[in-house]
Amino acid sequence: MCGIAGGIAGAQGSRFIERIAEATDCMASRGPDDRGHKVFGRLALGHRRLSVIDTSAAASQPMQDATGRYVIVFNGEFFNYREHREFVLSKGCTLRTRSDTEVLLNLYLLEGERCLQRVNGFFALAIYDTREKTLFLARDRFGVKPLYLFEDGDSFLFASEMKALIRFGIPREPDPASLHIYLQLNYIPPPYSIFRQVRKMMPGTYILYDAGKNKLVREASFFDISPEAPETAPSSYADAGNRLHELMDASVRRRLVSDVPLGAFLSGGLDSSIVSALAARHTDKLRTFSIGFPREPYYDETPFARKVAKHLGTDHTVFDVGNRDLFGILYDVLDYTDEPFADSSALNVYILSRHTRREVTVALSGDGGDELFAGYHKHRAEWIIRNRQLFTATLRNLYPLLKHLHGGRGGSMANRIRQAQRFADGARMNARDRYWRWCALAGEAEADRMMQTPAGSSGEYIKRKQLLTSWIGDGTDLNGTLLNDVKMILPGDMLTKVDLMSMAHSLEVRTPFLDYEVVQHAFHMPAKFKIDAQHQKKILKDAFSRLLPGEILSRGKKGFEVPLLNWFRTDMRDLIEKDLLGDDFIRSQGVFNPAAVRALKQRLFSTYPGEIQGRVWGMVVFQYWWRKYML
């Protein structure tokens, strides 16, 4: 795992090349083991290295092939590189290391962009052809590894993190449509970013850029998913489950390849338990790690994690977290966040990654299981709307009453009320609007009220919303909804969270559920194998039932949440009321409506705050980011 940066400077952009070392080194936590950069006239490549496979100095980057023609910077892992190593050697290529990077570079030498079809792994990469003067960029199929792009008509830059582009000295003009989306979702999905001239490279795509002529040659997909593939659909439910077990076991085994210590996150939920169970079969005394909130029982999952660890015989470690721990890492998290990103569970991942990194360098996670196999509450709600019209109509009619009840996330009853309110609200909408609303913490009207210059009715915002919900299907099959999660929520939220918070501690996190063979199989089976009237993740539970305790298979979904409300009302009250959301800062900033911000704070400190804490956290993150990067 590493950090990469570089690009092509146009006539007005020579300063970019001069700052390649600075831009690369600001990502030191992504690669604490080595650093390097090369300049080829108006083009530069930079690399920070976290040594995982072939830790020798010979595998440092930027790396050139034996002829010197091709140069690569690579962030990620190529898990099946060993089998392709024999292929490139058979074609006469010379290999000087045991690294996956060198194998990939030589595959590109032999096959060009077609080589990406061979790669099972996750990555962001850049390869420069010194003879043809072309720059090749690619991002993995599901967006596990990030890649930000800056274009201004003169220069073209890329980096693993926004902060590297900022160190290059790019102009920083906020994008109103992106801000409006952020105020709803608490993150900005790809391909958009907070800046007008910066975009996130879409997962599963590559770019070929002519450095000599300073122009884009081609941008295209090398991978896509279809929820309808009858020619490869499993013949039966039993066959689908058996195949899923085989593919997941193979995926986990691939991800155990490492020249450094390795472990697994274990929350006690189904997905991380499956990954840990499979890894434990192929590892002698697997190390597993979890965090808990012993003083917040509603949020604490450690009893389940311990139960699974005991069942599997893993060497399990629990890190207990309290408000003081959260406040202690607050500014570290805010400082590392170089684009507004406010999934509050990032705080959990930050603490978990920090403690885990003291023991291992690589950790497996269960990310992706919910999106592939219908694990979220919104999936249950969507199934009901599409399959239980009478119940849906009844709850829809009750919405005028339900919206006046006091729901929230602080307890089981309040949470049920909150879910009923969101269900009834969504039941009044079409499928795309409903999906968007259920992904959001705030509605479009609420986001508009927060902004000094509302953007919710702009053509640009409407176009983006349509694009970001374009995979939603009709009918009773939910695979289109799940595909939208894979396209929007995974790269925009879940994978961004894990990448940011793990890389802050130089910890590599691997995601077995996002092996492309597993994902393809998941979308080649009908959604009824995953969710029906009684079950969610049905096939996942059945396929792995013999590996786990029955209690884990029968428990409901529990999010990786943070007890924000009490924290905001105590340790963070002054930071919210008087500083970041204080009237003076809001007025001088000129971005938000002061009256709307005051109303947000009043509700937070009222008797019935509902679920307002998520929106407040979004504002805290944005304001801290603004103060750091925009003033």
- Work out the burial of residue 285: count CB atoms within 10 Å of its CB; fewer than 13 is exposed, 13-18 middle, 19 or more buried: exposed
d(CA 206, CA 123): 12
At residue 172, does pLDDT exceed 60? yes
Judged against a pLDDT cut of 60, whether residue 229 lies above it is answered with no
- Catalytic residue, from 2, 26, 115, 439: name it: 2
CA nearest neighbour of 514 among 105, 79, 102: 79
Question: Which pLDDT score is estimated for 410?
Answer: 58
- Residues with Cβ within 8 Å of 252's Cβ and at least 6 positions away in sequence, in order, are 275, 278, 279, 282, 364, 512
The predicted model gives 32-43 an average pLDDT of 95
Question: How many residues would you count in the chain?
Answer: 631
Catalytic annotation on 2?
yes
pLDDT at 592 over 80: yes
Closest CA to 410 of 617, 186, 612, 557: 612
Q: How confident is the model at residue 385 (pLDDT cuts 50, 70, 90)?
A: very high
41 near 214, Cβ under 8 Å?
A: no
Looking at residue 355, its pLDDT comes to: 95
Tokens of 595: 């009256």
pLDDT at 404: 61
Angle between helices 346-357 and 323-336 (to 10 degrees): 90
The Cα 38–Cα 2 span in angstroms is: 16
Query: Which residue bears the tokens 């169970």?
Result: 277
Q: Which pair of structure tokens corresponds to residue 139?
A: 């991002």
Tens of pLDDT, residue by residue over 238-259, are 999 999 999 999 999 999 988 8
The mean predicted confidence, pLDDT, of the chain is 92
Q: Per residue in 402-417, pLDDT tens?
A: 676 766 665 667 777 7
| pLDDT grade for 475, boundaries at 50, 70 and 90 | confident
Residue 214 structure tokens: 């300073």
Using DSSP's 3-state secondary structure scheme, residue 74 falls into strand
The C-alpha angle 282, 274, 508, rounded to 5 degrees, equals 70
pLDDT at residue 273, as a whole number:
97
252 or 398, which is more confident = 252
Q: What pLDDT is recorded for position 359? A: 96
Answer whether residue 265 shows pLDDT above 80. yes
Q: How many CB atoms lie within 10 A of CB 421?
A: 21
Residue 473, pLDDT > 90, answer no
Higher per-residue pLDDT: 393 or 505: 505
Average pLDDT score over residue span 71-78: 97
Domains of the chain: 2-178+187-221 (3.60.20.10), 230-371+491-554 (3.40.50.620), 564-631 (no CATH)
Burial class from Cβ neighbours inside 10 Å (0-12, 13-18, 19+) for residue 249 reads: middle
User: Three-state DSSP class for 265?
Assistant: strand
Amino acid found at 468: L
The helix (run of H) or strand (run of E) holding residue 43 is strand 43-49
Ranking 216-220, 354-358, 413-417 by mean pLDDT, the lowest is 413-417
Q: Does residue 71 register a pLDDT over 70?
A: yes
Q: Among candidates 239, 281, 200, 238, which has minimal Cα distance to 512?
A: 281
H or E element in which residue 290 lies:
strand 287-292
